[in-house]
């Protein structure tokens, strides 16, 4: 089995897992369901995951270069940080908090990009253990059981970090301001920044903005309930896998 074929099948398999996991009627039976979370909200979460965290194969063809440039920024943030620190406007607005806000933005990007790392880890296990496609929920769960627990903990931490960031509306507005600034500056320096780097940041901005918009449909209290509930669903799912 080639790495590419297995990755495609893992992507399809894990998207099906998300489809199954975020079914309103199933969740209602399995969990102590908050009264404020209805079917529309559960569908919003599922659609968000499938659009921005685990996009389909067609979307990934378009987004692969953007994903790659984001990964480069996460590993080597100095290129962006220098742009930010050179801005009198941003320094004046955010003062000594500017590096902290910038780092929070990087954390948000790293968090939603953690899903790809997780998929790649499943690919490695599938090839090493000769577990062939199609990858049903049962096979996906078997592959997850084969991962080192610290790797799964890291993935869960990414999910928690991302939701906690988009829950903090004041912080999100600052992050969006900085990313928008970076995009506008990069467009003025096309000899230094490539088109794919700009698209990468535009993707990050869209992902954070759409997450914020999803939460904005709820009251502040219900946003907290929803954030905690999503994390509970994910954690309970892992506990269920490992107790089998």
Contacts of 115 (CB under 8 A, 6+ apart): 53, 54, 155, 158
Q: In the prediction, which pLDDT does 92 show?
A: 67
**Local confidence pLDDT in tens for the 244 residues of the chain:** 789 999 999 999 999 999 999 999 989 888 877 788 899 999 999 999 999 889 998 888 777 777 788 888 888 888 888 888 778 778 767 777 788 888 888 888 887 788 888 999 999 999 999 999 999 999 999 999 999 888 888 888 888 888 888 899 999 999 999 999 999 989 999 988 888 889 889 988 999 999 999 999 899 989 988 888 898 898 888 888 877 6
Q: In the prediction, which pLDDT does 146 show?
A: 95
Q: In the prediction, which pLDDT does 51 show?
A: 93
SS3 134: coil
Number of domains the chain is built from? 1
CA distances, 134 to each of 5, 15, 46, 55 (Å): 11, 12, 22, 18
First to last CA, the chain: 28
Q: In the prediction, which pLDDT does 244 show?
A: 65
Q: CA-based angle 17:127:54, to the nearest 5?
A: 30
Tokens 């908090």 locate to: 97
Domain that holds residue 89: 3-30+37-243
- Model confidence pTM above 0.85: yes
């Amino acid at each position: 089995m080639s790495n590419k074929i297995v990755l495609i099948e893992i992507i399809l398999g894990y998207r099906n897992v998300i489809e199954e996991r975020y079914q309103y009627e199933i969740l209602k039976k399995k969990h102590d369901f908050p009264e404020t979370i209805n079917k529309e909200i559960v569908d919003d979460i599922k659609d968000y995951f499938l659009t921005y965290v685990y996009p389909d194969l067609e979307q990934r063809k378009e987004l692969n270069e953007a994903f790659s440039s984001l990964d480069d920024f996460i590993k080597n943030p100095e290129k962006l940080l220098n742009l930010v620190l050179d801005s009198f406007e941003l320094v004046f607005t955010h003062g000594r908090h500017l590096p902290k806000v910038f780092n929070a933005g990087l954390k948000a990007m790293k968090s939603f990009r953690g899903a790809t790392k997780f998929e790649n880890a499943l690919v490695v296990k599938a090839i090493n253990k000769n577990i062939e496609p199609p990858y049903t929920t049962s096979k996906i769960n078997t592959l997850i059981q084969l991962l080192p627990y610290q790797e799964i903990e890291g993935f869960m931490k990414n999910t928690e970090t991302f939701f906690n960031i988009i829950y903090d509306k004041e912080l999100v507005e600052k992050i969006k301001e900085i990313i928008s600034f970076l995009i506008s500056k990069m467009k003025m320096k096309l000899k230094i920044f490539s088109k794919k780097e700009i698209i990468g940041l535009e993707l990050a901005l869209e992902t954070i903005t759409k997450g914020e918009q999803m939460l904005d449909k709820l009251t502040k209290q219900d946003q907290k309930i929803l954030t905690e509930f999503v994390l509970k669903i994910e954690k309970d799912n892992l506990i269920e896998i490992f107790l089998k």
